[in-house]
Amino acid sequence: MSTQPFYTLDDLSRWEEIAPTLHLPARLAVIGDPIAHSRSPQMMNAALAARGIQAQYIRVQVPAGSVKEALRLFTLNGFVGVNCTIPHKFEALEAMDEVDPLAKKLGAVNTVRIRDGKLTGFNSDGPGFLRSVEEAFGKSVRDLRVLILGAGGGAGRAVAVQCALEQCPELTLVNRSPAKAEPLAAQCSGLSARTKVTVCRWDDAALRAVMDQTDLIVNATPLGMKEGDAPPFNLALLRASHRVFDMVYRSGAETPLISAAKTTGARTR
């Protein structure tokens, strides 16, 4: 396995020079911006080794606006699959030749299969979220009142739609620009007659009014990824009754949101 922290779009353009230096051929990758924090290679390469597959999974930093070009280069260089993380899930959707029906509903792509030069997009954010919630909290999303911070992003949108498909009783969408969350709210309302969908302003007064009617708080923003990031909301609003699911992870450290939630007695994932 390569010890290089990550590769770049420029590296992909000269991959014929880099490929011979690798211990194992790179056939899978994750793209994002930033990408150095991603622990996906550790997990994926362990799985590849366990299955006896002679290939490796790498990180590639790709700037916004360059996803289509990156996917073209992956295809030319013999890659068979790519994962997409922040901020590329919407851009990846537009670059696909085919899109899985669930990914269409979720409105974003985080997994790309490359076969015979054709790109097929999938989304594992929603199903993975459902499974993680049940494993962490022992309850189905169907039985929880859910608040999503950052509902305008790829992961936030996918989780919101998945919650509506599961018919959770209440779904609160929080976005910096409430107007941008309105189309998503309308979509979610159309997916479930059981789910009460509301859009909430991102300020203390508005959040305070809905927090007492919330069982599960989901952070779908990138806040917490970098050292020194501000918390996604006023942490004094957390209660012991809350379940807190942070979609951000930091290598070797808890996010500020998870640390704060634990001090209140809230359950976390």
The catalytic residue among 68, 89, 196, 262 is 89
Q: Looking at this protein, which amino acid is placed at residue 73?
A: L
The tally of domains found in the chain comes to: 2
118 is catalytic: no
Same domain flag for 142 and 237: yes
What is the band of 222 on the pLDDT scale with cuts at 50, 70, 90? confident
Residue 214 pLDDT = 98
- Determine how β-strand 81-84 pairs with β-strand 111-115: antiparallel
> Is the pLDDT score of 2 beyond 50?
no
Same domain flag for 94 and 206: no
Mean pLDDT across 145-160: 90
Write out the residue range of the structural domain in which residue 249 sits.
126-268
The residue with tokens 């979609």 is 247
| Mean per-residue pLDDT over the chain, rounded | 93
Same domain flag for 205 and 153: yes
> Is the pLDDT score of 1 beyond 60?
no
Residue 83 pLDDT = 98
pTM of the prediction? Answer: 0.83
pLDDT digits (tens, 9 = 90+) for 239-264: 999 999 998 876 667 888 999 999 99
Residue ending a domain, choose from 101, 123, 145: 123
